[in-house]
Amino acid sequence: MLQYIIKRLLLSIFTLWVISLIAFGISKLSAGDPVDIILNKGNEEGSLQDRIYLISYKATAQKFGLDKPTFYFSISPKAYPDTLYRIYPQNKRVTLRRWVAQYGNWPNVSTFIQNCEDLENNIQKVSRLHRSDSLIQLRNTYSLLKTRYKKDDTDVLVSKVVRQIKNDSLLKANFFDQGQKINTSYQSIIKNKDKKGLYLPSFNWYGFDNQYHNWLKSMWSGELGISYNEQRPVSKKLNEAIWITIQMNLMAISLAFIIAIPIGIHSARKRGKSFDKYTNLLLFFLYSIPTFWIATMALIFLTTAEYGMDFFPSMGLGNVSRNASGWEQFTTRIEHLILPVLCIAVGSVAFIARQVRGSMQEVLQQDYIRTARAKGLSEGRVIWRHAFRNALFPLITLVANIIPALITGSIVIERIFNIPGMGFVTIEAIFKRDWPVVYAVLMIGAILTVLGILLTDILYALADPRIKFKK
Amino acid sequence: MFWKSKKLKKRIETDKGMSYGKIVFKRFRRDSLTRWSLRLFYLLVFVGLFSDFIANEKPIYCKVDGKTHYPIVEDYLVNLGLLDPMNTLGRPNWRTLEHQGLVLPIIPYSAHKPDQKNMGFSSPFGKQNIESSRYRHWLGTDRIGRDLAAGLVAGTRIALAVGIIAMGIASLIGIVLGLLAGYFGDNQVRISLLRVVLILIGLCIGLFWGFISRSYALKEGALGIQILISLGILLLCVLGFFGLSRLMENMIPGMKKVYLPFDLIIMRMVEIVDAMPAILLILAATSIIRNPSIYNVMIIIGLVSWTTIARFVRAEVIKVREQDYIQAAKALAYSDFRIITRHILPNSIGPVLIVIAFGMAGAILAEATISFLGIGLDDEDITWGYLLNQARGQASAWWLAIFPGIAIFITVTLFNLLGEGLTKALNPKLDT
């Protein structure tokens, strides 16, 4: 048994490790430059030349560890330089990648980009003295040149740069050489197109100071990563939310069990009678009702004065002054939680009752129930002591569902009723593109699910001595 | 018990000469609830297929300047490139168009086109600013004056598309993996270590050459063809190394052999995907989408929800695998591929249909939840969840809360009932 538990634990750790890879992988694939999200900046093209932007970009990237390599190692074509990850901002990195993917000769590409940047720096020095339309045009052209990579575009843009420098006397005097340099380096990229490097893999080892390792460390330490928007550990952000959610779901689940078990048992006893038929049908429909629909209906009809049925307070958890008595705080909280809890419970009631009915039906057909009845035991004793305890056994599987449901069961409901729980925070984070929060919640959900499954297996083993686990 | 066996006898007699599928279908239709949900399902499919002809601001038929037009059909043809847009009416104001004859769809509004005269939540029963009752918004409008009935019709198409696309992807992955895991198990396939290593190397090199080296072409070229080329490269690499391993095996006899644990690997994958709460995984995965579209959400739902199907197929295949006719097929030296596709799959697919039916309900519900939250939606996508969500902002608009909700509820119930009906039809023991 102990061996079995240890084996299961090791397997769970493996599962969680793979999930962490998936979560991290998705977070790296997610749209938008994380640093830009932190800086609250869009992807406008002009932002590239902004020096202040670059400085703050670098500082932010360093602060959040986003300037580090993504993973322990990388396998990339030989054509790519192994220090590509050091180039910032992300836009530039992506453009460079595309240049290399297209032509395969990094040295030439890097000279070309260097020449473009030199021109940019020099022009910025001159621009204070000289303002002309051609200068502005030139600036637009080369800033475009840095973000474009398709051959049709770049051909036109390079020739445009050269022409624009030629056409203006002052520009010609100062930058003629540089214009030529850009042109020659561009031509040499195209001439020395070398795609061999793209098909030779190269393996780069980056060591342990990488983004994934740091993310995993912060998961392990309970910090759960750092929120992009609030720039503090995600755990602090989730700290309050998680208790509200657990509280709410615990209430809902207990309520669901209290309602569902008697219904299930009774309808199992009346198998085939009209009570069973109708409750079964009702439960079936109840099971199919989308929770968010009930919640929306409740919100509209029962919390607003619009239809004269303003029975419940509407949104959130209500405001209680700090010096209010404990009782007052409690009642306000309960008042605000009634509707959400009921809405969560509705779906679960149907599910649990159907399960109870199924397993009760099976147990009631067993011989030992007949024996118990034949012994002359009272009906209550037969049902509760003999039948129900055995019927509980298949319900152990429900434990695996309940534990993660404590956190994830109320995502939509929280959103509808504006309750600042986990689901509310998660969905806010999705809208604000605050991905670390989303992946932290995903990881928490996964950990709880794995725990739930583990617990189920162990409970099964404890509850039924016949189950023998192989090593 | 006597009367029951008589009934059974009668049933067996009438079933004589019918194929198994027909018997199941007959049993399936015996339950009145299932029968009605089947009829409703046909209706939904009809509405989904012809939603453009049911709710559209364009007329189905009109006669302008002595020429006959079928604007909706013409739209399809223009989109397919079969008709020159110059030959159509273009985009006139359909309400004020001068015409000699006109047949409008039942609901003369398009789902995403606002009716400016009835903005700000016109009630179905309230006064509406309309020319005649033909143009009445029978189910009301939303904030910017979009017709709710038209929205529901457009949503039907999306809901069915969710069911088909998401479950199509999920069943493809689930059935293939379930078949592999169930049929080969952990100790059926035994190949040399060398071959395992070489195939793995081939896979890595294929992935590298197909997808990393060709990243530029994949991003910039026509997506479908480029992906096919990449997959072709991958396949070639794997096959090449496979051939190499055969060659080397012939040269070096007596290589160490290992079992390929298909079951172990696939069940571990199932466990991993199942461990992530589905709704959270879908929400997180929507972050990858660059250009929001409801179809991307459908694909994500499909990629997340294959595990139940895989589990079920595996369980069925393990049952079927032990049957005598499979042993017979093996004795006849049929190839594994033939046994799987001709003998195992047809005999284990029935119960899988149950999971797929319930899965459809789940997928539609998941999509409705996500569009209710307003995640991953394009501006033009009108879905039931999106319509329902609008009710949250305006308590007085009860019609926005009730009708889309009913639509979701009915559809989800429908698929659940179909699943239930299938369960009963496929397990005759259940009904006594």
Each residue's pLDDT tens digit, A177-200: 777 887 888 888 888 777 777 788
What phi and psi values does residue B342 have, to the nearest 5 degrees?
-95, -25
Helix axes A274-288, B398-426, angle to 10 degrees: 120
User: Does A438 contact B284 at a Cβ distance shorter than 8 Å?
Assistant: yes
Question: CB A290 to CB B412 under 8 A?
Answer: yes
Smallest CA-to-CA distance from B114 within B57, B185, B48 is with: B57
Distances in whole angstroms, Cα of residue A395 to Cα of each of A263, A353, A359, A362, B265: 15, 11, 8, 13, 28
Do the Cβ atoms of B272 and A27 come within 8 Å?
no
Q: Which two tokens stand for residue B419?
A: 């699943």
d(CA A275, CA A353): 14
As a whole number, mean pLDDT of residues B308-323 equals 91
- CB–CB contact B395 A453 (8 Å): no
Where do the domains of chain A lie?
Answer: 38-213, 234-463
Chain B CB contacts of A445 under 8 Å are: 276-277, 280
Q: Cis before residue A34, ω within 30 degrees of 0?
A: no
- Compare all CA atoms of chain B with the CA of A76 and give the residue at the minimum distance: B212
Helix (H, G, I), strand (E, B) or coil at A27: helix
The DSSP annotation for A305-329 comes to GGGT---S--STT----TTS-HHHH
pLDDT category of residue A17 using cuts at 50, 70 and 90: very high
From the CA of B51, how many Å to the nearest CA of chain A? 24
Q: Which CATH superfamily is domain A234-463 in?
A: MetI-like (1.10.3720.10)
Q: Above pLDDT 70, what percent of chain A?
A: 92
Residue of A300, A351, A416, A435 to mutate for B, most B C-beta atoms under 10 A? A300
* Spatial contact of B146 and B115, defined as CB atoms under 8 Å apart: yes
Chain A residues touching B212 at Cβ < 8 A: 75-77
To the nearest whole angstrom, how far is the Cα of B407 from the nearest Cα of chain A? 11
Mutate: best of B213, B233, B290, B308, partner A, most A CBs <10 A: B213
The number of C-beta contacts closer than 8 angstroms across A and B is 145
pLDDT for the residue numbered A209: 85
Residues shown for chain A: 471
The alpha-carbon gap from A122 to the nearest alpha carbon of chain B, in Å, equals 32
> Sorting pLDDT into bands at 50, 70 and 90, what band is B161?
very high
CB A79 within 8 A of CB A105: yes
CA atoms lying within 13 Å on the CB side of residue A150: 6
Q: What pLDDT was estimated at residue B6?
A: 63
> What gap in Å lies between CA A143 and CA A161, rounded to an integer?
11
Query: What is the DSSP secondary-structure string of A194-244?
Result: --GGGGSEEEEE--S-SHHHHHHHHHHTT---B-TTT-SBHHHHHHHHHHH
Contact A230, A241 (CB under 8 A): no
Q: Please, are residues A304 and A310 in contact by the beta-carbon 8 Å criterion?
A: yes
Residue A22 to residue B272, Cβ atoms within 8 A: yes
- The CA distance from B420 to A284, in Å, is 10
- Residue B95 CB burial class (10 angstroms; 0-12, 13-18, ≥19): exposed
CA dist list (Å): A319 to A85, A336, B21, B260 = 48, 10, 62, 61
Integer Cα distance of B270 and B318 in angstroms: 17
- With a cut of 90, say whether residue B90 has pLDDT above it: no
Tell if the CB–CB gap between A449 and B409 is shorter than 8 Å: no
B257 pLDDT more than 80: yes
Tokens standing for A216? Answer: 């995993």
Give the separation between CA B35 and CA B127, rounded to whole angstroms.
40
Counts of helices then strands in chain A (DSSP H, E) = 19, 2
Question: Taking CB atoms and an 8 Å cutoff, what residues of chain B touch A441?
Answer: 280
Indicate yes or no: CB of B391 within 8 angstroms of CB of A296.
Answer: yes
* Diameter of chain B measured on Cα atoms: 89
Smallest Cα distance from B216 to chain A, Å: 5
Q: Write the pLDDT tens digit of every residue in A375-393.
A: 888 888 888 888 888 888 7
Cβ <8 Å between A442 and B281: yes
Sign (positive or negative) of CA dihedral B332, B337, B340, B345 = negative
User: Which residue in B52, B252, B278 sits closest to B170, CA to CA?
Assistant: B278
**pLDDT over threshold 90, residue B170:** yes
What are the pLDDT digits (tens) for A125-147? 765 556 667 777 777 777 777 77
- Identify whether the C-beta of residue A440 lies closer than 8 Å to the C-beta of residue A216: no
Q: What is the pLDDT of residues A337-365, one digit of tens each?
A: 888 899 989 888 988 998 899 889 888 88
Collect all residues with Cβ–Cβ distance below 8 Å to A424 and sequence separation of at least 6: A241, A414, A415, A418
Higher pLDDT, B261 or B96: B261
* Bridge partners (DSSP) listed for residue B259: B190
Q: How far is A19 from chain B (nearest CA, A)?
A: 7
- B59 vs A94: CA distance, rounded Å: 48
* One-letter amino acid for residue A27 of the chain: S
CA distance B97 to chain A (A): 40
Q: Are B273 and B296 in contact (CB under 8 A)?
A: no
Using a CB-CB cut-off of 8 Å, the residues of chain B touching A289 are 409
User: CA separation (Å) from B335 to A291, B326, B330?
Assistant: 49, 11, 8
What is residue A47's predicted lDDT score, i.e. its pLDDT? 47
Q: Considering only alpha carbons, which residue of chain B is nearest residue A429?
A: B284
d(CA A380, CA B168): 49
Beta bridge partners of B29: none
Handedness of CA B112, B118, B119, B122 (dihedral sign): negative
Reported as a single tens digit per residue, the pLDDT across A62-77 is 888 888 888 888 888 8
Interface of B with A in 199-228 (CB under 8 A): 205, 208-209, 212-213, 215-216, 219-220
Residue A29 Cα, gap to closest chain B Cα (Å): 6
Residue A345: what are its φ and ψ, rounded to 5°? -65, -35
Which amino acid makes up residue A282?
Answer: L
Which chain B residues are Cβ-neighbours of A293 within 8 angstroms?
A: 388, 401, 405, 408-409
Mark yes or no for CB contact A288/B361 under 8 Å: yes
Residue B314 has pLDDT above 50, yes or no: yes
Which of B213, B274, B401 faces A77 most closely, judged by CB atoms? B213
- A77: Cβ contacts below 8 Å, ≥ 6 apart: A104, A197, A198, A199, A200, A201, A202, B208, B212, B213
Asked if A433 and B287 come within 8 Å (Cβ–Cβ), the reply is: yes
What pLDDT does residue A117 have? Answer: 79
φ and ψ of B143, to 5 deg:
-60, -45
Q: So what's the pLDDT on residue A127? A: 58
ipTM field: 0.85
Please check whether residue B151 is in contact with residue B180, taking contact to mean a CB–CB distance below 8 angstroms.
no
pLDDT in tens, B18-54: 788 888 888 888 888 889 999 999 999 999 999 988 8
- Mutate one of A288, A343, A362, A428 to test the B interface: name it (highest B CB count within 10 A): A288
- From B192's Cα to the closest Cα of chain A, the distance in A is 27
- Token pair in block for residue B290: 């660059």
Q: Do B287 and A27 touch (CB under 8 A)?
A: yes
How much is the pLDDT for B40?
93
Residue B376 pLDDT class (50, 70, 90 cuts)? confident
- B33 to chain A, minimum CA–CA distance in Å? 10
3-state secondary structure at position A167: helix
Comparing alpha-carbon positions, the chain A residue that sits nearest to B271 is: A15
Determine whether the interchain pair B409/A293 forms a contact, defined as Cβ–Cβ distance below 8 Å.
Answer: yes
Helix axes A291-302, B345-373, angle to 10 degrees: 30
Of the candidates B216, B271, B408, the beta carbon closest to that of A98 is on B216
Report CB contact under 8 Å: A15, B220: no
Q: What pLDDT is recorded for position A218?
A: 86
Give the residue with greater pLDDT, B15 vs A179.
A179
pLDDT for A419 equals 87
Q: What is the pLDDT of residue B69?
A: 83
Asked if A307's CB is within 8 angstroms of B412's CB, the reply is no
Examine the pLDDT at B236 and tell me if it is beyond 90. yes
Rounded Cα distance, A90 and A469, in Å: 52
- Cβ atoms of B306 and B171 within 8 Å: the answer is yes
**A317, pLDDT greater than 60:** yes
pLDDT per residue as tens digits for the range B423-432:
888 877 665 4
User: What is residue B406's predicted lDDT score, i.e. its pLDDT?
Assistant: 94
- Which of chain B's residues have a Cβ under 8 Å away from the Cβ of A290? 365, 368-369, 405, 408-409, 412
For residue B174, give the nearest of B273, B307, B352, B315 by alpha carbon: B307
pLDDT for residue B281:
87
Q: In terms of CA atoms, which chain B residue is nearest residue A304?
A: B395
The token pair that represents B402 in the structure block: 């009730």
State residue A76 phi and psi, 5-degree precision.
-135, 165
Cα A79 versus chain centre, distance = 33
Amino acid letter, residue B141: T
Asked if B405 lies within 8 A of A297 by C-beta distance, the reply is: yes
The residue type at A353: A
**Which residues on B lie below 8 Å from A426 (Cβ)?**
280, 283
A74 membership: H or E segment, kind and range = strand A73-77
Neighbours of B112 (CB within 10 A): 16
Task: Kindly tell me the burial class for residue B332, based on how many C-beta atoms sit within 10 Å of its own C-beta (0-12, 13-18, 19 or more).
Answer: exposed
Q: What percent of chain B has pLDDT over 90?
A: 32
Give A95-108 pLDDT, tens digit per residue. Answer: 888 888 888 788 88
Beta bridge partners of A202: A76
- Flag if A26 and B417 touch (Cβ within 8 Å): no
Structure tokens at A11: 């397997």
